[in-house]
Every structure is written in C-alpha cells, then in structure tokens.
Amino acid sequence: MTRPTSPEEGGPRHVAIIMDGNGRWATMRGRPRLFGHHAGARRVREIVESCPDYGVKYLTIFAFSTENWKRTQVEVAGLMSLFRRYIMKEMQAFVKENVRVRFIGDRPRLDAKLRGLMDEAEKMTEHCTGTNLTIALNYGGRDEVARATQRLAQDVADGKLKPEDVCEETLPRYLDTCVLPDPDLVIRTSGEARISNFLLWQSAYSEYEFVDTLWPDFAPEEFGRLCAAYGKRDRRFGAVKV
C-alpha cells in the first residue's frame, strides 16, 4: 500500500473527483450504462473510507452535472433513483464512520423526494467530524457562479453589500462551497482531460491528475498513489520560490 500522506507531510487536504467512465465500463461488459453507474456507486464508499488513510479531510465528488439532463430519459431516471437509494442505504454507515455529508448544486430541479433525502442526510451527519464528503448533484460551475452572483446582487440591492466591497474574498461566500476550502487536487478518471464545468472558481490553483482508469475500477490504492504524488508537486500560486 502507498504510504499515507497527510497534509502535514504535503498531502492534499481537499480532493475533488470527476467520476467518469461508468458508461464505457458497462458497455465493455455488454451491459446497460446504468450497470456501470451502480458499480461506480459502490466505488464511492471505498474511496470515502480510504480518505483518513491518506489524510484527506475533504472529498468532493461530481455525481450529476447541470448538463447530464441531456442524457436519455431512462439513464436520467435511473441515476435519480440510484441517488435516492444510495442516500437511504448509505447514510447510517456514514454516521457510523463519522462522515459529514453535504450537497452542492441547484436543488429546485431535483425531485422533492430526493431533495428531502438530501436535507435529511445533511442533518443526520451534521455532528460528524471525520471526512467531509460533498456530493455535487445537478451541479455546474457556471450555474453556481451565476446563482451566487444573483444572491450577491440582491444583497447589493438591499443595501447589505456595497458594490466596491465585491471582490475575490466576498464572491466565494455566496458559492455553494462557501464552507469548504478550495480543492488541492482534482482527479478525473477515464482518460478525458477536461474539467467539464466542475468547481470552476474553486479550482483556479488546484493541481490536476487525469488517469485512464474507468471510475468503477478506480481503487483506493490508485487514489493513495495520486495523493502521494501530489505531495511531491511544487505549488507556487503564481509566485516564485526564493
């Protein structure tokens, strides 16, 4: 096993993952795409459980994007049903493992039952102090910035915020991620090298890892290797080391 890398040793405190490749994984096995999503859901638990081994305190995963509604009705309905069942099934385990669950994304378009379960999961794990798991559901980075700007503009209109006080420090307070640190490392599986509208503002200075592994095959060992490799990177945030 890769030696654990804690943030004190230079490991990532916050890792964000674009879990790609479920569909191809299923197709390669002659199965429907949803079969791949179910296999992908099982991987989520394993990766969450491995976070403490690698010193990862925050894990943010991209489960459904604002663009994923363009998929077939069968796939969208199947994914929504998977999310509902996942929350119902996994929450007790997350409480037991001290995992705090949060959701980011635009909730109104999601069905009422799913929204209720999301609220419940957040409440049930509110006291948990271990890994912070954030699930992006109906999430898009541009949509998030637009919604944040709307709320910010309302505060300006209401006189709660002066236009001259709008800056890099104020805007993130209106983002869905306002209580989270920026991701140190963003991983995308399945060999695609793009960010697909994920955490656009927050990942301005994140390190990226694009790996060929399809998400259902992404094992904790590979996750650990990527966390260890992050520890060897030189993050300068635009500055020059003296």
Catalytic residues: 20, 68
Residues 86-145 that bind ligand FPP (CB under 6 A): 86, 135
Tell me: does residue 63 bind ligand FPP (CB under 6 A).
Answer: yes
User: Minimal distance in Å, beta carbon 90 to ligand FPP?
Assistant: 8
Per CB under 6 A, which region of 13-21, 118-126, 142-150, 157-165 contacts ligand FPP?
Answer: 13-21
- Scanning the structure block, which residue is given the tokens 């709307």? 150
Cβ neighbors of 170 (< 8 A, separation 6 or more) are: 152, 161
d(CA 61, CA 84): 16
Tell me: does residue 22 bind ligand FPP (CB under 6 A).
Answer: yes
Of 190 and 203, CB closest to ligand FPP: 190
Q: Mask: binding to ligand FPP, 204-223, rule CB under 6 A, as x and -? A: -----------x--------
CA distances from 197 to 68, 76, 200, 205 (A): 11, 19, 6, 15
Question: Tell me, what amino acid is at 141?
Answer: G
Tell me: does residue 40 bind ligand FPP (CB under 6 A).
Answer: yes
Tell me: does residue 83 bind ligand FPP (CB under 6 A).
Answer: yes
Q: What is the C-alpha end-to-end distance of the chain, expressed in Å?
A: 35
Q: Is the dihedral of CA 172, 99, 125, 110 positive or negative?
A: positive
Which chain residues interact with ligand FPP by CB under 6 A?
A: 19-24, 37, 40-41, 44, 61, 63, 68, 82-83, 86, 135, 190, 215
